Amino acid sequence: MVCPYVLVKLGMSKLTPQQQHAETFLRPSQGPQRVQIGKGTTFLPGKKDPSVAHLIDHVLEHGYVILPNIFTEAQVSAAKKELARLEALESSGPASQGGRNRFEGFETKRIYALVDKSRVYDCFAIHDTVMKLNDYFLQPNFLMTSFHTVNIGPGSKAQEIHTDDGLIALPRPRPLMGIGTMVSFDDFTAENGATSLIPGSHLWDDDRRPTREEMIPAVMPAGSMAYFLNTLWHSGGANTSQKPRRSITIQYCQPWLRTFENFTISMGWEDLDQVPKRLMQLMGFSTHDFMGYVDGKSPRAGVEMRKKRLIEWALKEKEKERQSKL
Ligand SMILES: O=C(O)CCC(=O)C(=O)O
């Protein structure tokens, strides 16, 4: 059987003797290892951990893979309880009571800046299997770009069909910029708005446009994950059931890309020590080579520098106020 996806090694012109000169600083990403899948996606394959090789092959062929029950009942139950607490608070953000546009979904509640609001969701962002899959599809030091709950209420219409790299104006085949994931807190069904996706659409060129008829629902039990390349066409589904479809989406991106959510600011700096180290790195408190530095040091060191300056400033302001009252 002919495999529907083809890993094509993209040719790189051989280096001239001058380029091979010791003075030339070539990074691994400038080497000849980039591959193309179909007409839609190119990427630099990373380490293929044998324990996830079958999952990688599924993603290469279909653009996504379902990871059933990768989270425990306890994790899912804590996530739902915390969601009820957060959604009851007005301070939970501008889309926590309903979306502000068709894309967010008027009947869909989203809680952004989750890293700042709760520690219950940390475990969903750093699952070992997901890290291993990302190690293959993304470059080392990949980041988290998006991390928020998605609660599609009864009566919600289907979301607009999109790819998560749609903001990036590059033609297909284009470099893989990131990975999308949806984690189900409720069973995802065709009726309650399971994420809809078009298998194989990561292989398409720009001339092919998606249609609703080509979509399939990512049906999966609560505690599962749909993992997909962000060149894959997908959308939230319509919820025709009587109950909400609760979930969290976590997206990851290449280490050299601007992230959707600016996690280094959305997280309160006073609480940074409570965040797992791996998550901190994913949030951008890290560097990629020297990309992301603060005054030549790590962003974490930069935060301490800013905190010190803020404290000094606050003390001076307090002293000024005291003096003015004398
Ligand atoms: O809610 C879903 O199933 C998908 C959400 C999504 O793709 C998005 O908001 O970008």
Tell me how far apart the alpha carbons of residues 163 and 235 are, in angstroms, rounded to a whole number. 8
Residue 123 placed within a domain: yes
Task: Indicate which residue's Cα is closest to atom 10 of ligand 1.
Answer: 164
β-sheet bridge partners, residue 109: 151
Residue 244 placed within a domain: yes
Q: Please, what is the average pLDDT of the chain? A: 93
Tell me how far apart the alpha carbons of residues 98 and 12 are, in angstroms, rounded to a whole number. 49
Residue 319 placed within a domain: no
Question: Same structural domain for residues 243 and 273?
Answer: no
Question: Same structural domain for residues 117 and 155?
Answer: yes
Q: Does residue 228 sit in helix, strand or coil?
A: strand
User: How confident is the model at residue 227, as a pLDDT?
Assistant: 99
User: What is the per-residue pLDDT across 290-317, written as a single tens digit (0 to 9) for each?
Assistant: 999 999 999 999 999 999 999 999 999 9
The residue ranking higher by pLDDT, 22 or 217, is 217
To test the pocket of ligand 1, the residue of 148, 157, 195 to mutate (highest count of ligand atoms within 8 Å of its CB) is: 195
Ligand 1 atom nearest residue 247's Cα: 1
User: pLDDT-based confidence at 41, cuts 50/70/90?
Assistant: very high
Question: Same structural domain for residues 164 and 240?
Answer: yes
CA distances from 303 to 181, 231, 272, 280 (A): 29, 34, 10, 12
Question: Same structural domain for residues 183 and 306?
Answer: no
To test the pocket of ligand 1, the residue of 145, 160, 165, 182 to mutate (highest count of ligand atoms within 8 Å of its CB) is: 182
User: pLDDT-based confidence at 90, cuts 50/70/90?
Assistant: confident
CA 166 to ligand 1 center in whole angstroms = 13
Ligand 1 atom nearest residue 104's Cα: 9
CA 24 to ligand 1 center in whole angstroms = 43
Task: Indicate which residue's Cα is closest to atom 7 of ligand 1.
Answer: 235
CA 104 to ligand 1 center in whole angstroms = 8
Question: Same structural domain for residues 82 and 65?
Answer: yes
Residue 20 placed within a domain: no
Question: Same structural domain for residues 229 and 303?
Answer: no
* pLDDT, average across residues 190-205: 98
CA 235 to ligand 1 center in whole angstroms = 5
* pLDDT, average across residues 26-30: 66
Residue 18 placed within a domain: no
CA 272 to ligand 1 center in whole angstroms = 28
Question: Same structural domain for residues 193 and 151?
Answer: yes
12 pLDDT above the threshold of 60: no
Within 6 Å (CB) of ligand 1, which residues are found? Answer: 150, 152, 159, 164, 182, 195, 234, 236, 249
Percent of the chain with pLDDT over 70: 90
CA distances from 295 to 46, 181, 299, 300, 310 (A): 30, 34, 9, 11, 17
Residue whose token pair is 């400033």: 313
Task: Indicate which residue's Cα is closest to atom 1 of ligand 1.
Answer: 236
Question: Same structural domain for residues 217 and 107?
Answer: yes
User: What is the per-residue pLDDT across 65-80, written as a single tens digit (0 to 9) for each?
Assistant: 999 999 999 999 999 9
Residue 68 placed within a domain: yes
Residue 120 placed within a domain: yes
For the chain, what is the domain count?
Answer: 2
State the number of CA atoms in the 13 A half-sphere of 286 facing the CB: 17
Question: Same structural domain for residues 194 and 296?
Answer: no
Question: Same structural domain for residues 199 and 170?
Answer: yes
User: pLDDT-based confidence at 1, cuts 50/70/90?
Assistant: very low
Question: Same structural domain for residues 94 and 207?
Answer: yes
Task: Indicate which residue's Cα is closest to atom 5 of ligand 1.
Answer: 236
Q: Supply the range of the domain harboring residue 295.
A: 262-310
Question: Same structural domain for residues 245 and 305?
Answer: no
How far is CA 179 from its chain centroid?
6
Residue whose token pair is 């995802």: 188
CA 111 to ligand 1 center in whole angstroms = 13
To test the pocket of ligand 1, the residue of 159, 192, 198 to mutate (highest count of ligand atoms within 8 Å of its CB) is: 159
Q: Write down which residue in 214, 236, 254 finishes a domain.
A: 254
Residue 326 placed within a domain: no
CA 183 to ligand 1 center in whole angstroms = 11
CA 35 to ligand 1 center in whole angstroms = 28
CATH number for position 203: 2.60.120.620
* pLDDT, average across residues 13-32: 63
Ligand 1 atom nearest residue 196's Cα: 3
CA 307 to ligand 1 center in whole angstroms = 36
196 sits in which H/E element: strand 196-197
Q: Two tokens at 74?
A: 């306890």
CA 83 to ligand 1 center in whole angstroms = 17
Percent of the chain with pLDDT over 90: 87
Q: Write down which residue in 190, 221, 254 finishes a domain.
A: 254
* pLDDT, average across residues 34-61: 97
User: What is the per-residue pLDDT across 250-272, written as a single tens digit (0 to 9) for each?
Assistant: 999 999 999 999 999 999 999 89
Tell me how far apart the alpha carbons of residues 278 and 313 are, in angstroms, rounded to a whole number. 32
